[in-house]
Structure 1
Amino acid sequence: MARPSKAGALGRPAGRRGVLLPLVLAVTASASLAACGSSGSSSASSSGGTSATKITFGDLSPTTTLTPFYAAVYEGFFKKAGLNVSVEKFTGGGSSSVAALATGAVDIASGGPTNFISDIAKKAVTGKIFAEVAGAQYDVLATKGITSVSQLKGKTIGVSGGNSADEIYLMAVLAKYGIKPGDVTFVTSGTLAQRFGAISSGTIKATAELDTQRTVEQQVGTVVLKAEDSPVQVPNVTFWGSDKFRTSHADALKRMISVLVSSATWVSQPANKAAALADCEKGSGATAASCEQTIAVNTNPAQAGKWTWSSTWAVDTAGIAKAIDATAQVIPEAKGLTPAAVVDTSITGTQP
């Protein structure tokens, strides 16, 4: 599977906020899976001629956190469960994904909940969050020499894209320290790995990185706010589904989640380490070292928390409420939203 094109070290700033021209690369999840067709249609499976439910998955921000998903694709776990999953990868944050979600080009998608909340609040999409992949995992990483969040005023901060989940998170965190969006310059700086490079070179002064990469973070900069100490505790990665697909294919989605729960267990087993790392590298575009750190942290509940790769992939509605509050600081339309307006609990429930 082709990897998404990598953005340059920095995007083109527009005013005080960087904007990256949306780039969408449609890629087939696996050579053994049929090309994606219309949403919710079925086709003959290669095993026994039975009908396989087609699911077009939007990978809005390729990340090592999705390792169980990538393993399910490349190891054939979805196919064995009668699911024909194809993948479209996106770069550029929220701006590059909203069109795909709004037009039905994807049935379900992965991304930060604040992204989806923003789109729902602005009535840009009709759909809801139905599963949670990972709980609060954002560290705030700064260049060496900066030792606190309060020192970021007036600095250039790197994000994956305009109105992206990491940008909204950073705005919410900065607000807790009395720093307004206009007090900093946000620029689009690509993937997590690319932002590491920009921090190391000093091109940007801060960014949000996953705590699963803390070993690398401490090599290239200073973690000025750890995820577990953040005043903004919001889920990191969730699954969104269109209203049409969720209501007509609830059983298929439940089957998909069951596969992902089993896949996470498979990933955690030492005998599968080499294959799991290869799946992670191929799907996320990250290094083997980054993938290994993610797997080590996310398979340890004491470190990752109960909402990351849980036994149900249930949605933390209290965390979603906090995500709504964080989004409302940036997107006025989100004020007054409730978790019920943005979450469908019928697929995975609310208990991890």
Structure 2
Amino acid sequence: MKRRSFLAASTASVGTLAFPALVRAQGLEKPRMTIAVGGKNLLYYLPLTVAETLGYFKDEGLDLTIADFAGGSRALQAVVGGSADVVSGAFEHTVNMQAKGQRMRAFVLQGRAPQIVLGVNPKTLPNFKSVADLKGKKIGVTAPGSSTNVMVNFVLAKAGLKPSDVSIIGVGAASGAVAAMRSGQIDAISNLDPVITLLQRSGDLKIVTDTRIVKEADQVFGGPMPAGCLYAPQAFLDKNPNTAQALTNAIVRANRWIQQAGPSDIVKAVPESYLLGDRAVYIDAFLAAKGALSPDGSIPDAGADTALRALRSIDESLNNVQFDLKAVYTNDFVKKANAKYPKA
């Protein structure tokens, strides 16, 4: 009997060592789930891709489906509609949704600056001098209502222009955006890397505002402007705290890995399609955007105030709304993740 007990215990022990992710998954409320993202190939969402390709989500016992959409607003719609559980998207959506009576909460940061670049087309606007020259022009964004659209509206407002003074056109976040600029279909673009670096290197873009630079982003928005993050309905976080923690652990590991990684490491970690046919451009884009990526996943306490100011500058109706900004983010999961995966 003792020998049988010993063998049974040994077998169980081997099983535990062989399937650590399975054991962890047993503690998760929802190991199989869907994350919606708008433009997964963008460096804005690099931590999400790294966590996926390096197996960090699997290490936490998660079996994820990552659904990619044309822009952040579409990804948000997927969660609101119930076809996805969590959004990998722009932080300011959590503030905007509170105004609409829907409680969304960010729980781990991917980017500490928006990384969005507004630039003009040298072919259609060869004599461009200031943002005021964009009146009556066509501006490409990833998708109408996305963070790239918010950025355009914010910059226009500072120049005394209204959103209705321009035509907003959704061009996506990949080769379609590049083609729209090169063919002259749009006069300006609000987009992210690697699209921006590709256009810049080919001479098809003149930069107006560059929030890949943290200092410039802080000046544009008047404070720290949190960017890419994971956010979800408050009800999801309440019901699935262990699952949210597992997601946070994976993203924090990815954030830390990226800060230590070299360009060649990054190129190996992303799908070939992300490179848009030019590995050197992607490397340049990574180097340009790296400083804007979060080192540890923490959301700055002043970030919600900055996001609200930006949103109010483009939507006066928000001035009449009382916000509970503490309810749009939490660092509770991030603190635990950083304790589990401390800085090397």
TM-score, scaled relative to structure 2:
0.75
Over 3 Å counting, the alpha-carbon distance change for 1:317 and 1:265 in structure 2 is closer
In the alignment, which of 254, 258, 270 is matched to residue 280 of structure 1? 270
Normalized per residue, the structure richer in helix is 2
Equivalent position of 1:325 in the other structure: 309
1:342 counterpart residue number: 328
Change (3 A) 1:200 1:343: same
1:50 corresponding residue in structure 2: 23
* Cα separation, 2, equivalents of 1:283 and 1:120: 36
Runs (5+) with no aligned partner, structure 2 = 1-15
User: Counterpart amino acid of 1:115?
Assistant: H
The equivalences for 1:96-115 within 5 A come to: 96-115=74-93
Q: Secondary structure at the match of 2:302?
A: helix
Deviation at 1:152, TM superposition (A): 1.0
Give 1:338 shift. Answer: 4.4
Larger Rg: 2
**2:173–2:195 CA contact under 8 A, matched in 1:** no
State the Cα RMSD in Å.
3.1
Segment of structure 1 superposing worse, 317-326 or 152-161: 317-326
User: How far does residue 84 in structure 1 lie from its aligned partner after superposition?
Assistant: 2.2
Aligned equivalent of 2:44: 65
Give, in whole Å, the separation in 2 of the partners of 1:348 and 1:198. 39
- 1:244 corresponds, among 226, 235, 241, to 235
| Residues 1:84 and 2:63 aligned together | yes
**Kept after mapping to 1: 8 A contact 2:194/2:282:** no
Instruction: Indicate the residue corresponding to 2:100 in structure 1.
Output: 122
Unaligned runs of at least 5 residues, structure 1: 1-43
CA distance in 2, matches of 1:113, 1:325: 13
Q: In structure 1, which of residues 289, 293, 301 is the aligned counterpart of residue 284 of structure 2?
A: 293
CA drift at 1:143: 0.9
Q: Cα offset for 1:244?
A: 2.3
What is the CA distance between 1:225 and its match in structure 2? 2.0
* 1:142 maps to 2:120: yes
- What is the SS of the residue equivalent to 1:310? coil
> How many residues are matched?
298
Kept after mapping to 1: 8 A contact 2:143/2:149: yes
Please identify which structure carries the higher strand content: 1
- The alpha-carbon deviation at position 73 of structure 1 amounts to 1.4
- Indicate if the aligned counterparts of 1:212 and 1:298 stay in contact, CA closer than 8 A: no
CA distance in 2, matches of 1:103, 1:291: 34
Judging changes above 3 Å, is the alpha-carbon distance between structure 1 residues 283 and 115 closer, same or farther for their aligned structure 2 residues? farther
Conservation of the 8 A alpha-carbon contact between 1:64 and 1:284: no
